[in-house]
Amino acid sequence: MIVLAALEAAPAHGYAIIEEIRRRSGGAFDLPEGTVYPVLHRLETSQLLSSHWEKSPIGRRRRVYSLTKHGSASLAARRTSWVQFSSAIEALLAEPKLCRT
Amino acid sequence: MSHLIVRYLEQLAHELSFDRSLSRRVCEEVEDHLRQSAERHSDGDTMEAERRAIELFGPAKIIAAQFAATSLLKRSRAVGPIVVLIVLGVFAAMKARVAWYAATGWSTSGSARFPDIGVIAYAFDRYAFYLALMTGLCGWVYAFRMQPGALDKTRLQRSFMLSAAAGAALIGSVLADIVLTALRLSGVGWSISHLIPIASVGIEVALVVALIARIHAVTSLVTTATLRFDL
């Protein structure tokens, strides 16, 4: 879900995705960088992402990933589940209101 | 680029050597990442910047093992449609031969000489073919339903067993076709027109050989990768 969310705004290459995750999570998700690429390939195999080669500004070839329609739908579904789950946990962890007698 | 990134990419390519196309793609992708990362961490010391980029990326063997699971799944999924296509190819060759017999009014004297063998071979051919088609389709659906992620070796083995069963049944069907064709040809004198049924049987044999080679290649790949990464 994290990787799908990082690609929601625009297509990006691996390094930019890692940077985006780091930036949006305020550094909380400082993932080992190499682990993101197998995840990208797996999401592509599941047809949640598509990818193509592009030339970088300095002429290097880089693989750019983008969300597919299926990926966008999957992200929306996962987001809904997460919001429900986190709301439930939040309610459970909320400090109980003390009753005055 | 200094030697650290080159050496790291060589190691990664070696770890991924079980799947050459994946290895090429991943190495090119990782090279771009490492160079970009090294440029970001560079403060004049290229060697230190590259060392830092590699450290942040992680050990090549661990990264390769994570790629292996997805690669094996993709390869396994690809076997199913190949099996079904080859089974249909054999069916087309068989039907073309039968249509040619009918169109040319081919004599059935050879079959008439050995009626029992002909009946048994025909029944065997038919049921072996149905078995090949059914197991091939089941293998395809089963492999397609495997979820990307952690490699499920049991499901992978079942998927290969279904493909292997389809291959074995197809071999039986083609052997029965060879017998039936030999019976047809044995009763008449040699003529150039014999080349048509012989060629169609040759196509069936070639398709079966291609299928065996494919299943063998994928099985070897899976064995190599699972042993290398202890999946």
pLDDT band, very low/low/confident/very high, at B112 (cuts 50, 70, 90): low
pLDDT digits (tens, 9 = 90+) for A13-31: 988 999 888 888 887 777 7
Give CA B168 to chain center in angstroms. Answer: 14
Nearest C-alpha neighbor of B28 from the set A53, A16, A19, A43? A53
Phi-psi region of A94 (alpha: psi -120 to 50; beta: other; left: phi over 0): beta
pLDDT digits (tens, 9 = 90+) for B49-84: 888 899 989 898 888 888 888 888 888 888 888 999
Beta carbons of A15 and B32 less than 8 Å apart:
yes
pLDDT digits (tens, 9 = 90+) for B188-222: 777 777 788 899 999 999 999 999 998 888 888 88
B210 inside 8 A of chain A by CB: no
Output the pTM of the full model: 0.69
User: Which residues of chain A does B149 touch, with a Cβ-Cβ cutoff of 8 Å?
Assistant: 42
- pLDDT score recorded for residue B168: 92
Q: Which of A18-22, B90-94, B109-113 has the lowest mean pLDDT?
A: B109-113
pLDDT digits (tens, 9 = 90+) for B121-145: 888 888 999 999 999 899 888 887 7
3 state DSSP class of A44: helix
**Interface confidence: ipTM more than 0.85:** no
Beta carbons of A42 and B28 less than 8 Å apart:
no
- pLDDT score recorded for residue A65: 94
Buried b (16+ CB within 10 A) or exposed e, B202-225: ebbbebbeebbebbeebbebbeeb
Give CA A70 to chain center in angstroms. Answer: 15
> What are the residues whose beta carbons fall under 8 Å from the beta carbon of B112, sequence distance 6 or more?
B187
Query: Which tokens belong to B106?
Result: 């081919």
pLDDT band, very low/low/confident/very high, at B3 (cuts 50, 70, 90): confident
- pLDDT score recorded for residue B174: 93
> What are the residues whose beta carbons fall under 8 Å from the beta carbon of A71, sequence distance 6 or more?
A4, A7, A43, A47, A48, A49
Higher pLDDT, A97 or B26: B26
Asked if residue A98 has pLDDT above 80, the reply is: no
Query: Which tokens belong to B113?
Result: 């000489």
B115 inside 8 A of chain A by CB: no
Report the amino acid identity of residue B104: T
Asked if residue B1 has pLDDT above 70, the reply is: no
What does the DSSP 8-state code read for residue B194?
A: G
Asked if residue A9 has pLDDT above 80, the reply is: yes
Asked if residue B151 has pLDDT above 80, the reply is: no
Q: For chain B, positions 27-56, list CB contacts with chain A under 8 A.
A: 28-33, 35-37, 56
Alpha carbons B226 and B152: distance in angstroms, whole number: 11
Beta carbons of A37 and B25 less than 8 Å apart:
no
Asked if residue A67 has pLDDT above 90, the reply is: yes
